[in-house]
Amino acid sequence: IYVFSQPIVANARLELRVDGMGGEIVAGPIARAQAVASYFDENNQSVAKIKRFDAQLWWTRLNYTAQQATAMRFKADGVESKSLNQIGIIFIPRIIWPDKPVLRGPGQDFYFLVTGRDNNRMSITLYADLLWQFGWIGLILICIPLGLVFGVMSRIIVPELKVLNFIYIPAALIGMNIALIDLNKFFINGVLTSIPMFFIYLYTIQFFTQRTEHEELAVR
């Protein structure tokens, strides 16, 4: 589905007059639906143009080589990443701090550094971000405990799923999301804010499970 949908997405971007293939789309649902439908119009010149592209659009959406190389160049040139500057306030809930400022995503800052524009965002993967932040040694030293954390998560979840304890399925999905999607983000929004959600959910279900068991024993 993903592979075959990419030409349709590319056509929609052209139909909606986006500033380049990577620009931001500002359009309502009706306009988007019309742009998708236009892909199946035999007289659509945009579709003919897309089909003549030499690049495999679906692959370019999965390939982070250019972003990673840019982050490596920034590191070599002394361009600092400021994504961790927000770490002191990112964990404070807005219900406690109603006037908490709206935080810019690190992908938006990176896109601005690369293009000079502020209308989109770009990811670089966790590994490129760690290299940019801490160098090769920091990348290795952080990835080792990160791998151990994934191992702990698996050892907790897999036995529960084997005995069909379905209350752990959301925790498994959170872990899968981190491993498959969040590692393509930055350190601050791909790991630091995602892994705690896994253990918070885990603690919550264990707390209520134990409480329910104690109540059942008290009734007996």
Q: What percent of the chain has pLDDT over 70?
A: 84
What CA–CA distance (Å, rounded) separates 153 from 147? Answer: 10
pLDDT band at 21 (very low <50, low <70, confident <90, very high): very low
The torsion angles phi and psi of 40, rounded to 5 degrees, stand at -95, 10
Instruction: Tell me the average pLDDT across 169-174.
Output: 92
Instruction: Please list the alpha-helical segments (H only) found in the chain.
Output: 2-15, 29-38, 45-51, 57-60, 65-77, 87-90, 106-115, 126-162, 169-180, 187, 195-219
pLDDT tens readout for residues 80-119: 888 888 888 888 888 888 888 888 889 989 999 998 888 7
Between 6 and 158, name the one with better pLDDT.
Answer: 158
- pLDDT score of 217: 59
